[in-house]
Amino acid sequence: MTHIELSLSPLDPSPHATGQTDPLEQWAATVAMAEEACLVIDAEGIIIAASPSCALLFCHQKPFELTGRHLLDPAVLSLIDFTAAGADLGGSERGQIPPLLALSSGRLARGLMRLRHQKDTRTLDAVASPLRHGGEVSGSLSFFAEV
């Protein structure tokens, strides 16, 4: 069994500590260089940054294919349910995936996501934490692992 510890602080915490810089900007730089499959979205669900391994896990070649797009864009994620047929995930259920649930709830969120890309189907374990700026949720930071 593997043990993973996460430290939720950006690479350069000094501007964040003084409140001068939006944490999304700092997390974007950290995520872009991360080896772990992770991404940062803003409060509207737009992908600010994705790690190279996250792009591959989402069946994309490079992170730039994800950035600037909404997480629920079918070209980013084709979410399916957990039935044998793997039907497209319904609208209300799509908003409950961990990265978006962390935004709406303002709390840590964890759950499974099932994706389809062409003939490839993947199940991902996702953990998402809301990011705050000025007391408001400004985005979320999510980590993914294939199960």
Regarding beta strands 79-80 and 109-117, do their DSSP bridges make them parallel or antiparallel, or are they unpaired? antiparallel
Q: Is the pLDDT of residue 16 over 50?
A: no
Here the tokens at position 63 are: 């992170």
pLDDT tens column, 115-145 = 998 888 999 999 999 999 989 999 999 999 9
Q: Is the pLDDT of residue 96 over 70?
A: yes
Q: Is the pLDDT of residue 112 over 60?
A: yes
The continuous run of DSSP H or E covering 79 comes out as strand 79-80
Q: Is 99 helix (H, G, I), strand (E, B) or coil?
A: helix
Q: Is 134 left (phi over 0), alpha (psi -120 to 50) or beta?
A: left
| pLDDT (mean) for 96-103 | 97
The continuous run of DSSP H or E covering 38 comes out as strand 38-42
Contact status, residue 90 vs residue 72, Cβ threshold 8 Å? no
**Long-range Cβ contacts of 23-29 (<8 Å, 24+ apart):** 23/131, 23/132, 23/133, 23/138, 23/139, 24/48, 24/131, 24/133, 24/138, 24/139, 27/131, 27/139, 27/141
Q: What confidence category does residue 20 fall into, taking pLDDT thresholds of 50, 70 and 90?
A: low
Q: What confidence category does residue 3 fall into, taking pLDDT thresholds of 50, 70 and 90?
A: very low
By residue count, the chain amounts to: 147
pLDDT at 90: 85
pLDDT at 120: 87
Q: Is the pLDDT of residue 15 over 50?
A: no
CA–CA distance, 111 with 45 (Å, rounded to integer): 17
pLDDT tens column, 38-94 = 999 999 999 999 999 999 999 999 999 999 999 999 999 999 999 999 999 988 899
Q: Which domains occur in the chain, in start order?
A: 21-146 (3.30.450.20)
